Chain A
Amino acid sequence: MNSFTRSVDLLHRAMDVSTLRYSVSANNLANAEVPNFKRTTVNFEAALKEAIDSEKNAKDSFVLKTSDDRHIQSKTYTDYRTVEPRRVLDYATTSDANGNNVDAEAEAMNILKTQLNYQLLTQMQSFQFSQMHIVLK
């Protein structure tokens, strides 16, 4: 997979996660007054960073010799395409008197940040395609 298709695919996945994050934040904000409601967050970047770092280190990593499928292999290389975003319930932050831990301002800021992130990602994606078009003119 060369760098062009890899970039396009990576940006596509990032945009998917951005839209997921937007709807999760909107859900949190809508439930900001419900008693005993706990907010959810989306975890994606840390797992993706780990997968991409494992690709970079795959050449020098320590490989165990196996002769059967059932032998345990050391984890050398995670393809970043297998990483999925996960919605995680955030039960650890402190909550209000009615058990609700949604902070309305912080959720509104998350929505704004997701919008800006999405705009930047679309710019980057259209940049990739315009580079191709320059040469193919």
Chain B
Amino acid sequence: MGLFTSINIAATGMSVESLRRDIISDNIANASTTRTADGGKFKKSTLILEAIQDDLQYRNPFVPADKDSGVGKGVRALRVEKDNSQGRLVYDPTHPDAIQTGPNTGYVEYPNVNIVNEMVNLISASRAYEANATVIQGSKEMFQSALQIGK
């Protein structure tokens, strides 16, 4: 274990949470958008996260892999995916983006963004960010008390 391992791990957590916050704010801002620049409908984005597992530390070589997983190296954002489920349909034939053909003629498709869900996700991202900051604070205090040994 190194001097700054825990700080590196918490830093990855913080970057990921701030990326999540950005995605959530994009979703909320576009909650009533009916068209996008490349012609399709707006669909909400979700962030796929992955634990960084390569080169685990403290891995016992004689224990099977599912019993001893070692200490990982944090989290990384794998990709941003679009959620392609059906959005809300609102009947409004006078809207310029109303569907012209098919079974839903006259309906406008609004994005599949649920504002309440997004707000809850925002709160959880903010709490996770604070928790990572607390980890860093604790790690800094441990370091400084180690420096007091023998003073």
Contacts and interface: CB of A to CB of B under 8 A. Distances in A.
Taking the complex as a whole, does A directly touch B, i.e. does some CB pair lie under 8 Å apart? Answer: yes
Interface in A106-127: 106, 108-109, 112-113, 116-117, 119-120, 123
Interface stretch (B109-117, B119-127, B140-148): B140-148
Contacts, number: 34
Contacts of A103: 15
- A-side interface size class: 10 to 19
A24 interface: no
B3 A112 contact: no
B108 interface: no
Contacts of B8: 109
Contacts of A116: 3-4, 140, 143-144
A105 B3 contact: no
A29 interface: no
Nearest to A119: B147
A123 B147 contact: yes
B7 A112 contact: yes
Interface of B: 3-4, 7-8, 10-11, 14-15, 18, 136, 140, 143-144, 147
Interface of A: 103-106, 108-109, 112-113, 116-117, 119-120, 123
- A-B complex: 8 closest residue pairs judged by Cβ atoms: A109-B11, A105-B14, A105-B15, A113-B4, A103-B15, A116-B143, A106-B11, A123-B147
